[in-house]
Structure 1
């Protein structure tokens, strides 16, 4: 018969007392969420919509920090170099974790070695819109006809060279056999503004942003890039319906610096899943034509591996190499 010693009893009691303290030790101060894009774009909108619910769930203030530049690379470097304690989260997407590694000769961060996956949180379909510089273009066939008539004369905006916006429009042009001039901006919002002002002819961007901009008639949405029509834009055909057999879009996820304790990563992943079920958050996502979706850290890692292969193929086909 085993009879525990006084030392064993004391050690066991200490372990039981320590477990709750470890579980509640994180977070012990405010959390920083780095958004690698300008304020006003869909990434910023969704992150700010989630922040109050994250604060309520985790019990600490959540501060959004916009660090735009280099197709998300400036913010990614800041996220990679942050302390690995879970108090800094980085909003990743296809650009930062699946495109940049193939588009740039050198990156100031390693998407795989410098980050630990936490959870996916959104899938984002795109829309193709035109502005007042093309008053006679009312559908995709009209845009493509105008582009064929003047090769390289029509322009399109993006939120950066080799961004998901740029590459998606490049894919549309290649599939349709047309040539247009690419005009990169430093974020989604500046590109949208340029199209609405008639300074640039067209843009592929998240469907929610295009829908909001189209309400006053300044821009016209020609197609969505999802497999089917969107509930937010039921009158707008998909690219396939409009004659271009292509599906594209973006996604957003949370990563933390590598070597963040697994217990903290798990706690953050669980919290994000809870946040995405909050009605106020779901409504903002609906308004942005965006689907909330949570994953485990392992699920996100597998998802990003697949995305790297998909976008890597696109980069190689476009022969894009950046310094």
Structure 2
């Protein structure tokens, strides 16, 4: 078709073609520089490990360098706020977790961002199951039933660590305890590693944390894994029963998902969704998740948005019931 022949096309078709070209152009031009993934948690932690594994495989797929930027503070909300306020052009991504995208909306009344309005979902990444561990402080507690029996016999005397008030580590334990009708004393720390050190050192009795985080100290016998929060047993700990097997209902873990700032053009969101899904099929990324007891779980943006809303409602009940508010 020559340029002159365009005069023969109906006006509505010309307008439609122009609109389609305009719609496609953002994706065609993207990305034209370095892409960054913001992580709201410290280097070396689980979120950082997954973010860097994603960056490594995503870069070649997008044809640009992808870097990780750690912006730590306020339970991840500092990094989330920075990501939400970034230019909505697809060059800034956010590795969100259930804490930042679902829990803090209830737990932090003055949250400086709105998880629904300020982010464009791209794809779910993975659900990392929790392991419930006990340490040397209570050598006679060797399984989940014994842990609950001890808490029932000594209300408020058995202690559990977390990486902060209203974190998933805190609320997952509270949810299990409420189902069992027992109480423990919560001892919050500033991160997963300090909490784990307190368990290994015998200062605190138990903890819930991402499954991969306990593997090293479990393997050398310093802690016991008494249960996991997953639909099925976790291959890392084949002898540890699930909370479901033990009569509870908790099968939630620490989920991770990729977002862009709100108002990022739809063609770029589609391009990123496709690229992230391809990245999640790479063997190196699958292996990183395997070491955490998880597997890749790609989704549509719509599915991720629905999951976020559903989990916000579910965890809000636990936050209110336990008064786990951040002032």
TM-score by length of 1: 0.90
Partner of 1:127: 131
- The answer on 1:282 being equivalent to 2:281 is no
List gaps (5 residues or longer) in structure 2. 9-13
Q: How does 1:196-275 map to 2 (within 5 A)?
A: 196-275=200-279
- The answer on 1:178 being equivalent to 2:156 is no
Partner of 2:11: none
List gaps (5 residues or longer) in structure 1. none
- The answer on 1:5 being equivalent to 2:27 is no
Alpha-carbon separation, structure 2, partners of 1:219 and 1:315? 28
Q: How does 1:1-323 map to 2 (within 5 A)?
A: 5=4, 23-323=27-327
Q: Give 1:95 shift.
A: 0.7
Alpha-carbon separation, structure 1, partners of 2:269 and 2:161? 37
* Matched residue SS, 1:256: strand
* Matched residue SS, 2:31: coil
Distance 1:8 1:311, change over 3 A: farther
* Matched residue SS, 1:291: coil
Alpha-carbon contact 1:229-1:237 (below 8 Å) kept: yes
Q: Give 1:286 shift.
A: 1.2
Q: After superposition, give the CA deviation of every residue in 1:203-229 in whole Å (9 maximum; x if it has no partner).
A: 101112122331111111110111321
Alpha-carbon contact 1:239-1:245 (below 8 Å) kept: yes
Q: Give 1:170 shift.
A: 0.5
Distance 1:23 1:260, change over 3 A: closer
TM-score by length of 2: 0.89
Runs of 4 or more off by more than 6 Å in structure 1? 14-21
Alpha-carbon separation, structure 1, partners of 2:201 and 2:170? 19
Alpha-carbon separation, structure 2, partners of 1:64 and 1:189? 21
Question: Which stretch has the larger CA shift, 212-221 or 17-26?
Answer: 17-26
Alpha-carbon contact 2:24-2:267 (below 8 Å) kept: no
Distance 1:235 1:21, change over 3 A: same
Alpha-carbon separation, structure 1, partners of 2:23 and 2:166? 47
Alpha-carbon separation, structure 2, partners of 1:171 and 1:263? 40
Alpha-carbon separation, structure 1, partners of 2:38 and 2:26? 26
Q: After superposition, give the CA deviation of every residue in 1:227-249 in whole Å (9 maximum; x if it has no partner).
A: 32122211111123345453332
* Matched residue SS, 1:117: strand
Q: Tell me the number of residue pairs that the alignment of Structure 1 and Structure 2 aligns.
A: 320
